[in-house]
Amino acid sequence: MRAVVLVGHGGPEKLEYREDVPDPEAAAGEVLIRVGAAALNNTDIWTREGAYGAERDQGVPRGWRREPLSFPRIQGADIAGRIEAVGSGISQERVGERVLVDNALYSGDGEGLLDAGIVGSERDGGFAELVAVPAENAHRIVSDLSDAELASFPTAYVTAERMLNRARLGAGETVLVTGASGGVGTGLVQLAKIRGATAVAVVGRGKEGLVSEIGAAAVVLRDGDIAPAVETVLAGAPLDVVADVVGGEQVRTLLELLRPGGRYVVAGAIAGPLVTIDLRTIYLKQLEVLGSTMGNRDEFAALVRHIESGRLKPLVSATYPLAELGRAQADFEQKTFFGKLVVIP
């Protein structure tokens, strides 16, 4: 089959397009999927670069689990397609089923996220014509959306759903969303609206109108110190939750903006993972600081229901042929797009 193979940690030059990769086979309990589309994520970039680092040495290149990654590896976690074959123990009736892939390789009962791997990291993913995954990870989906549109949802939106669950965001509350024009950010805005909450979105200049269209009640530009702008749009109302996927120097400001007893949940650090905060802000205001990553089986199933109901708007910024994955990842790193970039095998 045709596939793009990651041969080592480094830049886009470590991605090799090949047309002679052996076809995968569905092992017992697995299904073989003909890939219709596979979307890009920050995880693809960080895994390729080895940027997760060893826990005690940030300079050591490591994959998602902060362990050495096996090469060669086919990346691509967000997969939409159709089941082409099944392994032993799986009903032949699933052949032909349209599916969206939950890319979390859970341990235990499906809530085992602390030890979970990811499709495209701990096993081969969707930047190829075919991919084999555990059968329970392939969720049947009924939708008029294209494969590219479906592939725009999995990682970003299940991450957003879990963040909001971890922060217990409820109807009538206000959440500040950083990086609101990216994949997780757009998911946070839309899912917050579904919950009846008010989303204040932080975005780069030129993306204000786009994020308002998907449900942001107010928009703040990320230029410089955002505190005055956030306080202006809040107009004295409390800020209940911060959902942060950016990290970096503004974490201290974000904590200061929260009301007493507020919740800060983080699932990314594209502006930098090492930050300086004032612990007095946390304990004197009795804030909750919550880490969040991926999502569990129930949260992915809830995402599929949201998609099928039409309550979520897919946001595909651009599509690329498989052979141009390197260019797609380079474009992804520029962060000038709104929504998701998708590869069409």
CATH number at residue 323: 3.90.180.10
Does 34 fall in a domain? yes
**Per-residue pLDDT tens over the stretch 38-77:** 999 988 998 898 877 766 666 676 776 777 788 999 999 9
Question: How many Å apart are CA 259 and CA 240, to the nearest integer?
Answer: 6
Give the residue numbers spanning the domain of 167: 156-291
- For residue 115, name the pLDDT band (cuts at 50, 70, 90): confident
Among the listed residues 190, 73, 203, 205, the one whose alpha carbon sits nearest the alpha carbon of residue 128: 73
3-class DSSP state of 291? strand
Among the listed residues 165, 128, 147, 178, the one whose alpha carbon sits nearest the alpha carbon of residue 5: 128
Does 308 fall in a domain? no
Among the listed residues 103, 126, 123, the one whose alpha carbon sits nearest the alpha carbon of residue 34: 126
Does 298 fall in a domain? no
Does 130 fall in a domain? yes
Contact criterion met (CB below 8 Å) for 100 and 35: no
Does 338 fall in a domain? yes
Same domain, 169 and 140: no
Same domain, 263 and 204: yes
Same domain, 49 and 74: yes
The total number of residues shown for the chain amounts to: 345
- 3-state SS of 161-204 is HHHHHHCCCCCCCEEEECCCCCHHHHHHHHHHHHCCCEEEEEEC
**Per-residue pLDDT tens over the stretch 221-269:** 988 789 999 999 999 999 999 999 999 999 999 999 999 999 999 998 8
pTM: 0.91
Same domain, 185 and 55: no
